[in-house]
Amino acid sequence: MFCLLSVASGSVIAENRADVRTGLDVLEGEAFLRLEGKRVGLITNRTGINREGKSNVELFLGSKVKLVALFSPEHGLFSDVERSVDSSIDPRTGLPIFSLYGETRRPTKTMLEGIDVLVFDIQDVGVRFYTYITTMAYAMEEAGKAGISFMVLDRPNPINGLKVEGPVLDRERLSFTGYFPLPVRHGMTVGELANLFNQENRLGANLEVVKMQGWQRSYWFDDIALPWVNPSPNIRNLRQATLYPAIGLLESTNLSVGRGTEAPFEVLGAPWIKASRLTNSLNNRKIPGVEFRPFHFIPDSDRYALKQCHGIQIAVTDRNLFQPVTCGLEIAKVLCQLYPRQFQSEKLLNLVGAEDIVQRLRRHRPTAEIRKAYQFHLDDFLGLRTQYLLYQ
């Protein structure tokens, strides 16, 4: 266990948390010998830090690693951009920063010239439609084609690696927000997913996963002695990451999910919702581990910018009982019932990803029936998943 630890970002880690070492920490502990003499392209963002808060870029440049290029995912190298990102030059190091969320979402042959190994080191949030895992998979595909090795520095699933939940993506709906038929909450680390993608999609990548040390599947992020860094502009704490599988599930519809407020993914609303009506309907369902409160807000950006929205604030009362995907589906079902004309329920398909489930929601079918309808595919995934788990 660690004692009190201050990190470069100014955050503080409480004592008595588990001593977990990420793949980056493990690599650093080995003096980066696995990469010595190799020309490295690093796919990363602000979350790529060691347990003392030092960036992987700083650590690589201070070692015998020959870092020749940086690659950034959605939200850019500094995890703060809410639009497409241009390639640029890093003013701190003079290294090229190749954007994988701009003109291309894959490394091109030109980008990969002079690189021996691509290293992926980004904190994921454990949800199918969070795009960093697709960026990893696309980069693995291109590395395989180019004969370049691929290394993943593993990091924790912040919402724990035990819980797996929700509809599995229809195979015909694969996209940048759904690279593989995963359930909404997959309960895996990026290293485990890399192995699964490589094997099941036959990518042929020369893949090495640098495993964590000390991580257990039951750990939430605040159970471990690692500094929190916002993985994207609107996931600012573990509370929001916990709610993301529920509220992010609804984001492709005509709802505000709190972007442009102080509490993204903790609130939800629209100008046409009656807050008290929605709150009462949801609380009457007695969804385990969560409470709903009426909430009124005006987003300063994104959907309904500068317009009064009415809806709910979501408070998780017991995260171990809380089933976020089930909660998100319950919210969708209630909105379908209360606002059949206003709520654009057909757009749920974009992120729910399973047409049969969306049709059942829109027909107001019982929750037990909806869960039973996706359980068969979920059980299949659970069987597949066991082959790729790296931790107890």
Q: What is the pLDDT of residues 147-198, one digit of tens each?
A: 999 999 999 999 999 999 999 999 999 999 999 999 999 999 999 999 999 9
Domain boundary, last residue among 232, 257, 290: 232
Same domain, 75 and 100: yes
Task: Please identify which residue in the block is written with the tokens 């497409």.
Answer: 84
* For range 298-322, the mean pLDDT: 97
pLDDT of residue 4: 24
**Would you give the distance in Å from CA 17 to the centre of its chain?**
23
pLDDT of residue 1: 25
* For range 360-372, the mean pLDDT: 95
3-state secondary structure of 391: coil
pLDDT of residue 7: 35
- Average pLDDT of the residues of the chain: 95
Structural domain containing residue 207: 5-154+189-232
Same domain, 209 and 311: no
Same domain, 287 and 222: no
Characterize the bridge pairing of strands 149-153 and 117-121: parallel
CA distances from 127 to 53, 132, 133, 193, 308 (A): 24, 10, 9, 12, 29
**Domains: count for the chain:** 2
* For range 60-83, the mean pLDDT: 95
pLDDT of residue 44: 98
pLDDT of residue 314: 98
Return the percentage of the chain with pLDDT > 90, whole number. 94
Return the percentage of the chain with pLDDT > 70, whole number. 96
383, part of any domain: no
**Rounded Cα distance, 159 and 143, in Å:** 30
Same domain, 79 and 140: yes
- pTM equals 0.94
Q: Are 110 and 168 in contact (CB under 8 A)?
A: no
pLDDT exceeds 70 at position 38? yes
pLDDT of residue 69: 98
384, part of any domain: no
Number of Cβ within a 10 Å radius of residue 324: 28
Domain CATH for 145: 3.40.50.12170
pLDDT of residue 16: 84
CA distances from 340 to 54, 333, 344, 345, 361 (A): 50, 10, 8, 8, 11
* For range 318-324, the mean pLDDT: 97
pLDDT of residue 12: 43
369, part of any domain: yes
* For range 31-47, the mean pLDDT: 97
**Rounded Cα distance, 237 and 22, in Å:** 19
pLDDT tens column, 341-362: 999 999 999 999 999 999 999 9
pLDDT exceeds 90 at position 72? yes
CA distances from 349 to 167, 344, 357 (A): 11, 10, 9
217, part of any domain: yes
Same domain, 75 and 194: yes
Q: 11 falls in which pLDDT band (50, 70, 90)?
A: very low
pLDDT of residue 15: 61
